[in-house]
Amino acid sequence: MDVQNAQIIAYAMADQGSKRIQESQVLPGIAILEKALRRSREINLSQVGAWLLNQFQQKEA
């Protein structure tokens, strides 16, 4: 995680090493998490938590 730039960097094991990935099979929604990280700089954490929960619920629907 690059907190300074509000970026989550994910890697997957591949070919006896690792490679950077844009979407995790274990933790889907990296882009949403990055938005939550950016929002946490502007609004309080309970509001960020509520927004994040709403985003994941919409994604499931």
Q: What is the DSSP track for the chain?
A: -BTTTTB--EEEEETTEEEEESS-SSS--HHHHHHHHHHTTTS-HHHHHHHHHHHHHHHH-
pTM reported for the whole predicted model: 0.62
What are the boundaries of each domain within the chain?
Answer: 10-60
Q: What is the mean pLDDT of residues 36-54?
A: 90
pLDDT in tens, 6-43: 788 888 888 899 988 888 777 777 888 888 888 988 99
